[in-house]
Amino acid sequence: MTPTTTWSRRKLDRFWNRWSLWLVLLLLLVGMLAMLVWLAGRYEANEVQNRLERDTADVVNDIRGGLARNVQSLQALQVHAPTQAVWKERATAFLADHRELLRLEWRDPDLRTLAFVESPFQPPAFSVLGRDNAQADVALACATAKRFKSTAYSGSYFLLQRDNLGMEVLDLCIPLVENASAHDYVVATYSLPEILSGLVSRQLTRNQEISFTEADGTRLTLRGMAHRNNSKVFTARQLLDLPGNTLVVRMDSWRNAPGLFPNLLTALVVLMSLALISVTLLLARDTRRRLRAERGLAEALAFRKAMEDSLLTGLRARDLRGRITYVNPAFCQMVGFNPTELRGHSQPPYWPPELAQEYQRRHDIRHAGGGPPREGYHSVFMRKDGSRFPVLVIEAALINAQGAQTGWMSTVVDVTEQRRIEELSRASQERLQATARLATMGEMASMLSHELNQPLAAISSYATGSLNLLKSGDHAEADLTMAMGRIAEQAERAGRVIQSIHDFVRRRAEARVAAAPQSLLDAIMPLMQLQARKLQVQLVTDLDPALPPVLCDHTMVEQVLLNLARNAMQAMDQPDISARRLVLRVVPAGPPLRAAHAVGWLEFSVADGGPGIPDAVAERLFTPFFTTKQEGMGLGLSLCRTVVEQHGGFLDFYANQPQGTVFRFTLPVAQTA
């Protein structure tokens, strides 16, 4: 056998194997559809028959209920022992509302007729054969009623009419019992056709045929539409059990029976067939598309992995239980661990032991539904060699394709270099602040010398006087004591001035402690009074001594207060301003300044009566190196805002009334233990 023949045979075998599978699939499909059609037909037929049985039961219930109501109404005709005239009046009114009744009779115990009333809707029922012709049926019904002391119905009988036609009727006998014996009877004659017409819902007779039949199937009367020629008839029968008589209610429906294709499931079967055929035809093309999609997905995954591997930012994924499920190479390089050492850990090895409990508590808050802050949070990680380094972690919920959260995705940034730059920037700002303080002291040197001259001159005078008293030998101990006390007071005054300048100018490490608002104002009051006396400005302080202390750096806040006060006094140094009044006020901060400051913050304000700030200047007021003074550096207000914001506060200004400007800033209240 040649290789070509072998190859052809193999190809033929594959061809027959493939088509044999398709043939089996087609046969199974045809068999399934045929069985589905047959089952659907059986289901449709059963549904039609069940619906007809329910309708027939409703007809029997309607007739039985109507007859029971009529019995109660007929018994009410004899209430209060009426006369024959009254009874006829009541019976006539009753017949006017019930077309199914042909005749009402009041009979004595011997079944003699005392009074009767005919239906107004039809000719007299017994005008052809007379009432005595049916006396046997009435007597039998009344005998049954007397024996059971209850109502009884006679058998149905045919009643001939004048038009040579007739109708099926039956009699109802109601005994009027008194002292355990029947003394009178009420006999009612029913028309069976009118019972079907008046006591059965018209909805049931609209497309169905209802009839009364005997037990052997003899039809007594019927009502409804005639049969259709090409329709299958569905029939249901129910017994109408009446006292003394039993009738059969038959209902015929001529709805179309399910044929080869059932009405209910035809569309469904066709659609399923088309869908199966379409799926079969498109299976090969879908396979090709699937292969192309898989290749595209593989390329996308490779591209994403290459992109993640090239990132310098660490990526970490955790499930809802806190276990690490993914880390990128940048994260591994950051902490010094490989991915196998990190995956599956809920307490990873890069957590410092002293901070592990705090980090675990933070994760528990996440798991309980507390979302991470949008700006992220700062943390400290530990490398494999044990060294610590600061990081910024930004977390977001990890959502799958179904929209459910499966964990957390974290972006981790090493902020060691950023912290170093911030430290350099903070040191630079401190140097600028120290420079600004030195520049301020240079401007105040002349005022300081004038202020120190007064206590030094007083000391010199008191010392000279004391020496003179000692030389003369005529001195009193009280005078010397007074002179020495004055010398000490003036020396202390000069020392306070020098100390305040020294504390203000010197540079020191940032230390935030609780400070009373009054102590902050007292520390800079000697320096403010120097310039106030020179510029003839009245200083006014307004604060409640019971205000809580604030948490701040004394020197920085004193510099802010002094800078704002000096600017305010210089703004009022104009010839046309006579009322020069500077107000320093401390109050609890409220919502107008900052909503978050409604509780736990104090507001410091410096108000002057100067000309105010023009709009053009207000836009650039806090810009570094912007100044309206010829000798100014333009750093004062910029440094003030920086200092306040470092404390978490807020600095702004607004127009004072009737003139001037109010600068205000907030500081946090120190928490008490």
Instruction: Read off the pLDDT of residues 337-372 as tens digits, 9 standing for 90 and up.
Output: 888 888 888 788 888 888 888 888 887 777 676 666
> Sorting pLDDT into bands at 50, 70 and 90, what band is 631?
low
User: Count of alpha carbons within 13 Å of 336, Cβ hemisphere only?
Assistant: 12
The residue whose two tokens read 């040197």 is 445
User: Count of alpha carbons within 13 Å of 283, Cβ hemisphere only?
Assistant: 7
Structure tokens at 46: 């059963």
Pair 307, 300: CB distance under 8 Å: no
Query: Cα 134 vs. chain centroid, distance in angstroms?
Result: 79
Q: Which pLDDT score, from 0 to 100, does residue 451 have?
A: 52
Model confidence at 506: pLDDT above 70: no
Q: Which pLDDT score, from 0 to 100, does residue 256 have?
A: 58
Q: What is the pLDDT of residues 75-88, one digit of tens each?
A: 888 888 888 899 99
Structure tokens at 325: 């499920």
The CA-atom distances, in angstroms, between 593 and each of 150, 247, 311, 622, 649 are: 95, 94, 43, 18, 10
Q: Which pLDDT score, from 0 to 100, does residue 267 have?
A: 62
Q: Which pLDDT score, from 0 to 100, does residue 603 have?
A: 93
pTM of the full predicted structure?
A: 0.40
DSSP 135-147: HHHHHHHHHHHHH
Cβ-Cβ contacts under 8 Å for 71 (sequence gap 6 or more): 151, 172, 174
Q: What is the pLDDT of residues 265-320, one digit of tens each?
A: 556 766 776 777 777 667 767 767 877 888 888 888 877 777 777 777 888 888 88
The residue whose two tokens read 């604030």 is 550
Structure tokens at 144: 């049954």
Q: What is the pLDDT of residues 77-125, one digit of tens each?
A: 888 888 889 999 999 999 999 999 999 999 988 889 899 999 998 888 8
Residue in 326, 344, 333, 296 with CA at minimum distance from that of residue 311: 333
Identify which has the larger pLDDT, 94 or 9.
Answer: 94
One-letter amino acid of 426: R
| Bridge partners (DSSP) listed for residue 209 | 224, 252
Cβ-Cβ contacts under 8 Å for 518 (sequence gap 6 or more): 543, 545
Q: Which pLDDT score, from 0 to 100, does residue 607 have?
A: 92
Q: How far is residue 627's CA from residue 436's CA, in Å, rounded to a whole number?
A: 14
One-letter amino acid of 102: L
In 10 A of CB 661, how many CB atoms? Answer: 21
Q: What is the pLDDT of residues 425-457, one digit of tens each?
A: 777 767 766 666 665 555 555 445 545 655 676
Indicate the burial class of 50 (C-beta count within 10 angstroms; 0-12, 13-18, 19 or more): exposed
Cβ-Cβ contacts under 8 Å for 145 (sequence gap 6 or more): 151, 152, 173, 174, 175, 182, 185, 243, 244
Structure tokens at 294: 């898989």
Coil, helix or strand at residue 60: helix
Q: Which pLDDT score, from 0 to 100, does residue 454 have?
A: 55
Helix (H) or strand (E) holding 85: helix 84-96
Segments in 506-631 forming alpha helices (H): 517-535, 554-571, 615-618
One-letter amino acid of 75: Q
Pair 613, 653: CB distance under 8 Å: yes
Helix (H) or strand (E) holding 40: helix 3-75
The residue whose two tokens read 């390329």 is 299
Three-class secondary structure assignment of 373-409: CCCCEEEEEECCCCCEEEEEEEEEEEECCCCCEEEEE
DSSP label at residue 347 = S
Q: Which pLDDT score, from 0 to 100, does residue 476 have?
A: 62
Model confidence at 34: pLDDT above 90: no
DSSP label at residue 337 = -
The residue whose two tokens read 């190479």 is 329
Q: Which pLDDT score, from 0 to 100, does residue 485 have?
A: 77
**For residue 243, cis peptide bond before it (omega within 30 degrees of 0):** no
Highest mean pLDDT of the ranges 201-210, 490-499, 590-599:
201-210
Identify which has the larger pLDDT, 602 or 405.
Answer: 602
Residue in 650, 632, 671 with CA at minimum distance from that of residue 560: 650
Residue in 526, 502, 504 with CA at minimum distance from that of residue 452: 526
Cβ-Cβ contacts under 8 Å for 532 (sequence gap 6 or more): 538, 539, 569, 582
Three-class secondary structure assignment of 294-338: HHHHHHHHHHHHHHHHHCCCEEEEEECCCCEEEECHHHHHHHCCC
Least-confidence region, from 191-195, 207-211, 236-240, 591-595: 591-595
> Sorting pLDDT into bands at 50, 70 and 90, what band is 602?
very high
Structure tokens at 239: 């017994």
Phi (first) and psi of residue 442, to 5 degrees = -60, -40
> Sorting pLDDT into bands at 50, 70 and 90, what band is 264?
low
In 10 A of CB 119, how many CB atoms? Answer: 21
Model confidence at 589: pLDDT above 80: yes
> Sorting pLDDT into bands at 50, 70 and 90, what band is 190?
very high
Rg (CA), the chain: 56
Identify which has the larger pLDDT, 529 or 521.
Answer: 521
